[in-house]
Structure formats: C-alpha cells, structure tokens
Amino acid sequence: MKQYRYILDTGSRKHRCPGCNQKTFVRMVDTGTGEYAPDEYGRCDREQRCGYFMAPPPPEKTVKPNIIRVVDGIASISFEYSPEIVEAVKKLKSRKYDSNTKQWQCPCEANIDQMAALIKMHGFAIIQPEPRPEPFLIPFDDIQRSCKLKSYFHTCLVELLGTDRAAAVLSNYHVGLSNSKWPGATVFFSVDINGQPRRGKVMVFDPNTSKRVKDSGGKALISSIHAILGKRNEKPDACFFGEHLLKKYPDKPVAVVESEKTAVIASAYLPEFIWLSCDGSGGISRPKFDVLKDRRVILFPDMGCADKWQQKADVLGMPNVTVSRYLEDNNAPDGSDIADFLTTQPLLEDYPASWDQLPEHTEEYLKFRFINWAESFEHYHAIGKIDKCQSILDEIAAAGFDAIPDEIMIKHAPITFKNIQE
C-alpha cells in the first residue's frame, strides 16, 4: 500500500475553512512528524456549497548532478538516469560498478575520449581532488638511526628466531625504535621501490607475549611518525612495507600479508619470497599494486578473510595475483595468520636459505610448499613463461622431490595437469 507524506486528519476535530469560514475544515497531517500541515492545507466537508481543497505541493525532485570525480587515476561517475547517458557509459573501457557508492568506475587513461564525450554531449563536470599539502618525507638518516636501536619487537624476534637470525631478518627491513610516544615502541618504516621513504607505523609489542599492547579501552597502541611529528596531513602516498626489496630481489615471487610483523617473521621461514605488508584489506588497491604488475604475487589473508581478499583481488584485474586459501582449507584458528602456522615449523639453517639446507618438515608444511609450487607453475604456464616454469621444476628437484603430487596438481593447477596428461 502506498504511503503518503500528508493525509487528512482522521480525528473528529474541525477547523475554520479558509474558503467559507465555516467550522467544517479537516486539516492535513504530516505523517512523518504527526504535526498539522500549515493552516491552508486540508479539505472542507461542504463539498457542494464550498468545495475548498488544498494539498501541500509535492517535494521538488532532486536532480542528481552529472559528475566525474577523479582520484589517483580512477574516474568515479555518477549521473541522473537517461538512456543516452547509459549508452555512453557502456562505452567506457574496464568499467566496474561499485554497489556501495552506486557509481561506475573506470581508469582515466584508457577512457580519455569517452570521458570527453560525456563532458561535451551530456554536460558532465570533472571534479579533481583538492590540492594536497607538500608531503613531508622522513629523512633517511633518521630512519637509519632509529633502525640501529632495539625496540620490544626486536626482543620478541630474538626470542623466536635467535640473535643472529633476528638481526639478519631485520637487516632486510627498516624496523626501528621510537620512544617519543611510548617507551620501547616499534616503527615499521615503509620505503618504496625507488628508495624513497614514505611512512612510519608505530606500535607497541609486549616483550613477554609478542602481542600488541592495548590501552584500558582495549584499543591497540598504534600511531605514525607523521602524527607524532604533527604532520598528519602531510603523509606521502602509502606503499608496501618492504617494497624496497623488490629492487634488491628482482626475480623473487612476492607474498603479501596484512601486518608488518607477519611479513618480517614469514621472511625468516620462506626467504625465497619477498614478504610485503599491505596494512590490511584497505591497502589492496590498483595504484599500490601497479609496482607488482610484472611479478608472481600470492596474497595470504588472515583466517576468515579469504573471500574478502578475493573480492579485492578481482577488482584489481591483475592475472598475476592469486589468493591463498591455505588457512581456510586447513581450518586454522579464527584470527590467525600465515606466521602463526610458519612458527610451528623448523627454521632453515642459514639465512637466506637454499633448498639443499632443508631440514625435516611436517607433512602440513610440505603440503603448503607443494601448493605454492603448483599455483606458481599454473600461472607461469598460462602466460607462456617457460623459463619460470623450468625454475620451479629445478627448485622442486633441488628439494629432493620428483614432482608435485597429482592430488595437489588437480586442485591447484588443473589446466597444467590436464595438458601434462594429454
């Protein structure tokens, strides 16, 4: 049943009619507030002798402006519906509809002519983001000084890995100390592929439990170097934590996790990957991931987040990026991450390690390695990178195995397995 904003009062009270001045007037009521509408709105009961009737005018229709909003090379398009505009939007390349913002999105560079047509033919306006303040770059000398000092996280890492291994792992990353806000706080510095410092994430770890310290309200103690320095609005664009390693190891595949702590620890157990932190699912964005476009990339979400990360990966539209469901497939505890699994396994003798130094591992650990080999082989086989496929075969042989088990190939590399069988 249709609901109306204004209705005639259903009570018995009558008012003076604006038309005939008789007390035969039924006023209108606003159903949203229960209040009477202004005095002139209502109906006279003397329909034959007076016939006065006046209803509030319908609310003015809000016309949705036709706008192209550009942020980081991505155009978000909103418009008032018309068949002509819909047809024009259908011509946009690589367009995707965001059901949350109810906007179409597309890369600007691939749609210059199409967007020009929207502006010229349909009156679209382009809105550019407001100019940002000049970013404050953390001096690299300050980063180096901080990284020479030992935070509580360093204590935790020594307990887990031993003094030499902890030092070797930390030498690959930029992890330092900041006492400015909390004593013993750890700073995870993000430095991009060109060696440019970007940000510094500050948090506190309990040296006895290795867990993050929380305040009395249960909120983790987390800040940033820019916030501590009073330059919160002068942050450079974010990059991966560990991104500088991409230039140092140009041939290694990449593993992406949520937290910086996980990236550092995982690198000690699987050093044949470059371990990066994207700082949560919000960090899975095309501008950030463009630096990985020529790499084999595996995302390792925390337990329970695989579906969400898969959706994010689908939006990236990068065929070289896959999402591991290892934790889900093995019923890992809620909230656990890949480091929680890896730390149950023995460490290799040296760092960085080679497969001829592989100690005895659990069956689950070997299964995990076979899955990564299978998925990597499937990816490189699909894009014709025969040299990469051969490298994986050589790695498997160096580990002392003849081949990847058929059951793992069938599930994680079905196309390659079928081609081999034929």
Round to whole Å and give the CA distance between 290 and 309: 17
> Hey, what are 75's tokens?
């155009």
**Cβ contacts of 143 within 8 Å, gap of 6 or more:** 174, 176, 189, 191, 197, 200
* pLDDT one-digit tens code per residue, 387-414: 778 878 887 887 778 888 888 888 877 8
The whole-number pLDDT of residue 1 equals 52
Nearest-angstrom CA–CA distance, 118 and 111 = 11
Length of the chain: 422
pLDDT on residue 356 = 39
Who's near 151: CB < 8 A, 6+ residues apart?
175, 176, 177, 178, 184, 185, 186, 187, 205
Name the least confident of 22-26, 187-191, 366-370: 366-370
pLDDT at 223: 93
Half-sphere exposure of 37 (CA within 13 A, CB side): 20
Give 348's pLDDT tier (boundaries 50, 70, 90). Answer: low
Predicted pLDDT of residue 362: 55
Segment 266-279, tens digit of pLDDT: 998 888 889 999 98
* Lowest mean pLDDT, pick from 103-107, 232-236, 376-380: 376-380
Q: How far is CA 352 from the centre of its chain?
A: 30
| Residue among 181, 202, 190 at smallest CA distance from 140 | 190
HEC sequence for 72-131: CCEEEEECCCCHHHHHHHCCCCCCEEECCCCEEEEECHHHHHHHHHHHHHHCCEEECCCC
Q: Provide the pLDDT for residue 364.
A: 64
Gyration radius of the chain over CA positions: 31
How would you classify the pairing of strands 197-203 and 185-191?
antiparallel
Is the pLDDT at 232 greater than 70, yes or no?
yes
State residue 228's pLDDT score: 92
pLDDT (mean) for 188-194: 94
With a pLDDT cut of 70, the percent of the chain lying above it is: 94
Strands 175-178 and 185-191: antiparallel
User: In whole angstroms, what is the distance from residue 8 CA to residue 2 CA?
Assistant: 15
Topology at the third CATH level for domain 67-127:
MutS, DNA mismatch repair protein, domain I (3.40.1170)
Q: How confident is the model at residue 359 (pLDDT cuts 50, 70, 90)?
A: very low
Residues of the chain above pLDDT 90, percent: 29
Whether pLDDT at 250 is above 80: yes
Residue 358 pLDDT greater than 60, yes or no = no
Domain boundaries, the chain: 1-60, 67-127, 140-234, 354-422
Distance CA 83, CA 49 (A): 49
125-127/67-71 β-pairing: parallel
Q: What is the pTM of this model?
A: 0.61
pLDDT of residue 351: 43
Average pLDDT, the chain: 85
Q: Give pLDDT, residue 326.
A: 85
pLDDT at 353 over 50: no
Could you give the 3-state DSSP secondary structure of residue 185? strand
Tokens found for residue 297: 């990339």
Q: What is the per-residue pLDDT across 96-135, written as a single tens digit (0 to 9) for each?
A: 888 777 888 898 888 888 888 888 888 898 887 777 778 8
Higher pLDDT among residues 328 and 381, named by residue: 328
Find the mean pLDDT for residues 64-68.
Answer: 85
The region of weakest confidence among 44-58, 78-92, 349-363 is 349-363
The predicted structure's pLDDT at residue 357: 40
